[in-house]
Structures are given as structure tokens and as C-alpha cells.
């Protein structure tokens, strides 16, 4: 972990998310460090636009050029499903897909993914 605000002991701790509880295993120097580390046990998403599309034998017959990665704690349950549903809504919208393919900046891409118009992302 590159966060310079955390102590070495905090960087070596383990976050365990089980049964809707987040537990920190390992010592930390302050309560603030504990809260910061526990906040890492949440859903993360990554979007990639491939330079070269991949023939994935998709149902629509088109090669894959947009990829989503969703990382969730084991206990994310409903929140994980909500994130998948949001990705599904965006990927079913052909104009949004074209805006993702044409986005020229992170802000523009984030605006498309969040449902805003690319023009609103300066």
C-alpha cells in the first residue's frame, strides 16, 4: 500500500469482511488508521477500453472492446447486485457505449458511466 499516512504496522494488517462485519487483524497506531483501513473493504469497479478488441464469441457477434471488473467483499450481497445492475444498464444503452468509446478523458468517461452527458465533464 502506497499510502504514506499509514504506519508500517497498519500497512501489514489484514481486513476481513465476513457476515456483514469488517474486522481488522493486526495492530494500528490510531483509531483513524483503523477506520481508513476498514474503509477499504468496499466495492471497487474498474473499466477498461481495449486498444485491440477481442473476439469473445459474444451473443451479438461483435468483438469485445469494453471491459468491466467488479471487486466486492464476500458480504457485499445486495450492494454487489446493485453495482452489476448499474453496469448492465449502461452497457445496454448503445449511445452510452459509443460515448464511452469516444471519451477522451477520465472525467468524460466518468460522466458517461455516472449517467451524465460528456459535455458536462469539462
Q: How far apart, in Å, are the Cα atoms of 109 and each of 4, 65, 87, 104?
A: 29, 15, 13, 7
Query: CA 90 → CA 16, 62, 83, 95, distances in Å?
Result: 31, 17, 11, 9
Q: State CA 117 to chain mean position distance.
A: 20
Q: Is 75 helix (H, G, I), strand (E, B) or coil?
A: coil
Residue 11 has what pLDDT?
66
Q: pLDDT at residue 113 above 90?
A: no
- 28: pLDDT confidence band, cut at 50, 70 and 90? confident
Average pLDDT of the chain to the nearest whole number: 78
Instruction: Give the pLDDT band (50/70/90) at residue 63.
Output: very high
- For 79, the grid coordinates are 450492494
Q: Which range has the worst mean pLDDT, 34-38, 44-48, 75-79, 96-100? A: 34-38
What per-residue confidence (pLDDT) applies to 117? 44
What's residue 122's pLDDT? 43
What is the Cα–Cα distance from 12 to 58, expressed in whole angstroms? 42
Q: Is the pLDDT of residue 55 over 60?
A: yes
Give CA separation, 86 vs 13, 17, 120, in Å.
Answer: 32, 23, 20
* The predicted structure's pLDDT at residue 20: 57
Domains (range + CATH), the chain: 8-38 (no CATH), 44-120 (3.40.930.10)
Amino acid at each position: 500500500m502506497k499510502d504514506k499516512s499509514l504506519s508500517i504496522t497498519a500497512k501489514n494488517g489484514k481486513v476481513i469482511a465476513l457476515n456483514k462485519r469488517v474486522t481488522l487483524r493486526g495492530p494500528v497506531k490510531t483509531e483513524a488508521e483503523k477506520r481508513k483501513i476498514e474503509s477499504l473493504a468496499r466495492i471497487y469497479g474498474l473499466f477498461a477500453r481495449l486498444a485491440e478488441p477481442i473476439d469473445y464469441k459474444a451473443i451479438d457477434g461483435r468483438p469485445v472492446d469494453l471491459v468491466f471488473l467488479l471487486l466486492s467483499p464476500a458480504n457485499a450481497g445486495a450492494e454487489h447486485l446493485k453495482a452489476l445492475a448499474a453496469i448492465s444498464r449502461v452497457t445496454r444503452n448503445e449511445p452510452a457505449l459509443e460515448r464511452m468509446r469516444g471519451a477522451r478523458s477520465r472525467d468524460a468517461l466518468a460522466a458517461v458511466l455516472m449517467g451524465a452527458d460528456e459535455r458536462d465533464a469539462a
